[in-house]
A and B are shown apart, each in its own frame.
Chain A
Amino acid sequence: MKILVPIKRVVDFNAKVHVKADGTGVELSNLKMSINPFDEIAVEEAVRLKERGVATDVVCVSIGPAQSEDVIRTGLAMGATRGILVTFDGELEPLAVAKALKAVADDEKPDMIFLGKQAIDYDCDQTGQMLAALLGWPQGTFASKVEVDGSDVVVTREVDGGHQTVRLKLPAIVTADLRLNQPRYASLPNIMKAKRMPIDKKPIESLISDTAPRLEILKMAEPPHRKAGVKVASVAELVSKLRTEAGVL
């Protein structure tokens, strides 16, 4: 079984982003970039299936600038078998990403595609669902448990009310939620080995022709900052302030 894992290079979850003074975008030049945390979880799940003998091939694919090679190597160091870098300079929207990933999937013919539930930069939470629609595959989004069962995959999903379990016919899409697993730290030898593994590179134009954004970004701004309030000295003072000053109790 082959699993494709699309991974995005994003601003590290610990970095604090700021909007450029002219409001045209976010200042990224000095920020640490990392693998999207949910994609790391997706890689981990695929690698575990490989280690259990369920999967044979785990292919990481990233669409983005040349530096996206780094996050593919993060996946390889964790145990993925191959990498594909689709080069594109600039920000590609989920719909276009899904179309490019469909082209990769048509070529690679994976049995499952594990994505992250959302990329923590644009917080879209769309690509996996869109890719499923384009391929006509079933989808198990926000997965907290994945079990392959013959020609099906059984996915437990985190939903607003608790958990839901669905059975999907393979090939299928799964998107990883936070509690699917705890990703491993790659060992130093594996990191070194991953540095030497070949990565297929192809320009986005070889996959899709239309990369034009559908959403025109008119402006970016920081939301109004909440001001720190006051420290209260005791529980009694807290309750009294909530009653009299804030008038909410």
Chain B
Amino acid sequence: MAVLVLADHDNASLRESTAKAVTAAVLLGGDVHILVAGLNCAPAADAAAKIDGVAKVLHAESPRYEHMLPEPLAVLISSLGPSYDALLAPSTTTGKNVMPRVAALLDVMQISDMMNVLAPDTFERPIYAGNVIETVRSRDAKKVITVRVTAFQAAGQGGQASVELLDAVDTPEISTFVSEELSRSERPELTSARIVLSGGRALQSRENFTKYIDPVAERLHAAVGASRAAVDAGYAPNDWQVGQTGKIVAPEIYIAVGISGAIQHLAGMKDSKVIVAINKDPDAPIFQVADYGLVADLYTALPELETELARIGI
């Protein structure tokens, strides 16, 4: 048995989600290989070779792979299909974009957002916004899987895999990259932060996120998240959205401020270790999942929290 993991990277570096997908791949059994496809992505390939449990890194270079466009990438990955029993990618927007395309080319039904390996053909995955967990057994000879990264620890460092260069596969140019606008933030990354502080509709403006959320996030070294309502209203960028259709997070502390706790929001954060809710409505559904609830107006509670953290030296 051999398993291929599609690396999540930005050419210059490898994202932590790759090492988490490797942990899932190891549970399937057999040799684990990583595919790093990109342009000038040798640094990412070298980083992949150092992940524990990886036997080989396949390094494919082409301008076509620079932005991980799914049309050329799916052809490359499916061309490797015959050598593997399972093909995995972390459930990032890239993995979600590319892997179903691979699955269809291989005539396989994908297992999306896999959160637990029960056997090499049997898995758990969340459905209905995480309100139900289904156990499925795949009848396909080959498995194509996207991995819910919050469900797996990152594999360690210390591996010494060989790196093999792979030729690009020629494909018609039906798609081209135009541009990207990536939000820059000093804050830790949302999906890997130890503490996440999220704001909802009650924040009322982008300025209030800066004025009320930022100082507390700063003290806690927290990543900042948001509800869909806050993002839709333009108070926060889209990549901050936590939930069923946004990011899935599972930090040690999740602090929801002015968020009501709709199931679509809970779907993205209810596996957090400790949940704190600050809401002025004592009946807000968020309190049903919160370990610590504070019924208060956020406009007084957040400045108080900042002062209290400062007082105790955090």
Same assembly? yes
B265 part of interface (Cβ distance < 8 Å): no
A 93-131 contacts with B by CB, 8 A:
93-95, 98, 117-118, 120-131
Contact, CB under 8 Å: B274 / A246:
yes
A148 part of interface (Cβ distance < 8 Å): no
| C-alpha gap A18/B216 in the complex (Å) | 38
One of A124, A137, A169 near B110 (C-beta < 8 A): A124
- Residue in B closest to A239 when the chains form the complex, CB atoms: B308
- Residue in A closest to B293 when the chains form the complex, CB atoms: A231
Interface 0/1 of B268-293, CB less than 8 Å to A: 00100111100000100001111111
Residues of B within 8 A of A189 (CB): none
One of A122, A223, A231 near B295 (C-beta < 8 A): A231
Interface 0/1 of B257-268, CB less than 8 Å to A: 000000110000
Contact, CB under 8 Å: B238 / A179:
yes
| C-alpha gap A168/B70 in the complex (Å) | 12
B129 part of interface (Cβ distance < 8 Å): yes
A26 part of interface (Cβ distance < 8 Å): yes
Contact, CB under 8 Å: A218 / B238:
no
* Tally of B interface residues using CB under 8 Å: 87
Residues of A within 8 A of B176 (CB): 166-167
**A167-B136 CB under 8 A given contacts A144-B238, A229-B291:** no
A51, chain B: closest CB distance, angstroms = 23
**A249-B253 CB under 8 A given contacts A163-B181, A222-B131:** yes
Contact, CB under 8 Å: A137 / B174:
yes
Residues of A within 8 A of B2 (CB): none
Residues of A within 8 A of B113 (CB): 123
Q: Chain A: interface secondary structure?
A: mixed
One of A123, A131, A132, A139 near B244 (C-beta < 8 A): A123
* Tally of A interface residues using CB under 8 Å: 80
Q: Chain B: interface secondary structure?
A: mixed
Contact, CB under 8 Å: B178 / A166:
yes
**A219-B134 CB under 8 A given contacts A125-B112, A248-B273:** yes
Contact, CB under 8 Å: B294 / A162:
no
Listed in ascending order, the chain A residues whose CB lies under 8 Å from chain B are 11, 13, 16-17, 19, 26, 93-95, 98, 117-118, 120-134, 136-139, 141-142, 144, 154, 157-169, 172, 177-179, 213-223, 226, 228-232, 234-236, 238-239, 241-243, 246, 248-249
Q: Could you jot down 20 A-B contacts, CB within 8 Å?
A: A95-B103, A95-B104, A120-B128, A120-B129, A127-B100, A129-B96, A132-B101, A133-B100, A139-B70, A142-B93, A160-B239, A162-B239, A163-B180, A214-B108, A221-B135, A222-B132, A226-B270, A228-B290, A232-B292, A242-B276
Q: A142-B93, A178-B232 are in contact. List 14 more A-B contacts (CB 8 A).
A: A94-B110, A95-B103, A95-B110, A126-B110, A129-B96, A129-B97, A130-B101, A159-B239, A162-B183, A213-B109, A219-B134, A221-B135, A228-B287, A238-B276
